[in-house]
Amino acid sequence: MNTARYLLGTGQDTASVFVDAEKSYTYRELRDAVTTLGAQLHDMHLPAGAPVALAGPNSFFWVSAYLAIMSAGLVCVPMPATLTPEEFRSRLQWVGCRAVMFSGAEGRRHDLPADVVVLVESALLEWPGAQFEICDVELDQDAAYLFTSGTTAAPRVVRITHRNIQANTESILDYVGLKSDDRMLVVLPFSYVFGASLLHTHLRAGACLVNQPSFVYLESVVGRLAEQRCTAIAGVPSNFHALIRNSSFGSRPLPDLRLIQQAGGRMSPAIIDEIRAAHPRANLFVMYGQTEATARLSYLPPAELDGHAGSIGRGVPGVSLRVVDGSGRDAMPGQIGEIWATGENISPGYLFDERRTAEKMPGGVLRTGDLATVDADGYIYVVDRAEDFIKSWGHRIASQDVETAVMELTEVISVAAVGVPDPVAGEAVAVAVVKRPDSDLDAARLLAHCRARLPKHMVPELIEFVAQLPLNSSGKVVKREVRDRLHQIASGRSVPA
């Protein structure tokens, strides 16, 4: 089944599907828009399976275009709105896109080759009453090409099939308990795999997505949650760190809020506790995933947060997770190994990169690169990404353990721990810290806290207070940029403020 038909098949015609500013769109309007855009794409006579780029911020047009591309038997290539024109052209040429669909005013920033066909939002006003039938496709046909977030390395293009999307959507719906009257406040871009999973699951459930176009003004986020009577919010750790430590999210009553979803990296246990205390009636789902897994790989049920604090849980329905040692054998409880995953949501590989596909997904098994332990009950605990370990004085230090200790200070909004070169220790622990604007927290008090909470070899040697951490388009911390900045500071070189 074509994913467009799968996602559009349940929503009631008159039910709201997307709210943007004060405008509310219905499922009937979405189906009509997909038909209109699908007819225009069909009229371009692109080859079956041709890639079509989709760029710009979240909008009703973005959702319509995403589904229309798939409905026409083409492959959607979402592009973050934060790309520079040079990056955009490079990605466009590398994938081989001959058509682009622009949401909002995004197209005005780009000077494209003459042979690239462009569709913009005004296309929705053309061809009213257009006739178009959703194309039949094989489930293993590619539906989307997703660029990885690139927080630790150069991005790659992940092939996602119709089977991948539908399998992962069913898995998530199986445990998260979405209902047709749910209203999700969307702060994540749909071009990011976590944001895309919210789109998929809410469309399939016949529910509604409420767009929050900016995360700069935190009180506007909290206000929109309340005013739109949203029942759910989802985000990455940086979103929740900022909301709970630097806005009224932790004190303002939100009686309609019943679901909170977190993924995209490990969230501090202190932040989890503060969210639960602030909104005890809401179920908090801690989840884990990767772009190569379409979205979700595991979840920790809300009822297990106390008994398995710090865990990412176990595999979502239909996904098998293992923690394996260097020989590929199952790790013993407490032993550190790599997370491997299998399931119908696992990508068939990287576009134009057979070598890396064979390394990362041999035989359909996703080797995540995340190191973890497993307990006697089968619950998994991520220790760190292999490249984020800090090697100091002969010890392998998980950067997340240092970050957890720092986040216990309620004046800290966010922190990133990295290793910087040290001629004696090999690497020294360094942290970049964002504190609340009204805080008088200084390095001495932070250092004293770390000395009381951490072994000597894990205590930071360098503490740098910064206005903000570098984030990618998905809101995840880009550690390589933190590492570069702190390396320059440690070596005595001046860096921009």
* pLDDT single digits (tens) 52-103: 999 999 999 999 999 999 999 999 999 988 888 998 999 999 999 999 999 8
pTM of the shown model: 0.92
Return d(Cα 384, Cα 399) in angstroms, integer: 7
154 has a pLDDT exceeding 80: no
Q: Which tens digits make up the pLDDT trace of 332-356?
A: 999 999 999 999 999 999 999 999 9
Residue predicted with more confidence, 15 or 126: 15
Q: What are the backbone dihedrals phi and psi of residue 300, each rounded to the nearest 5 degrees, phi first?
A: -110, 115
Contacts of residue 187, Cβ cutoff 8 Å, sequence gap at least 6: 212, 215, 221, 233, 234, 235, 239, 475
Per-residue pLDDT at 123: 85
Give residue 325's pLDDT.
Answer: 94
Q: What confidence score (pLDDT) does residue 152 get? A: 44
Quote the CA–CA distance of 399 and 391 in Å, as a whole number.
Answer: 10
Residue 493 has pLDDT above 80, yes or no: no
pLDDT average, residue stretch 9-21: 95
pLDDT at 110: 83
Whole-number mean pLDDT of the chain? 93
Higher pLDDT among residues 273 and 393, named by residue: 273
Cβ distance 306 to 355 under 8 Å? Answer: no
Summarize the confidence of residues 217-243 as an average pLDDT: 97
| Dist CA 189 CA 476 (whole Å) | 12
pLDDT tens track for 25-46:
999 999 999 999 999 999 999 9
Give 462-491 pLDDT, tens digit per residue. 999 999 999 998 899 999 999 999 999 988
Q: Residue 473 has what pLDDT?
A: 85
Domains of the chain: 389-490 (3.30.300.30)
Could you tell me the CA-to-CA distances from 174 to 168, 318, 329, 354, 464 in Å, in that order? 10, 10, 30, 33, 44
As a whole number of angstroms, the distance between CA 342 and CA 443 comes to 45
pLDDT confidence of residue 494: 47
Element (H, E) at 366: strand 366-374
356-378 mean pLDDT: 95
Q: Contact, 161 vs 483, CB < 8 A?
A: no
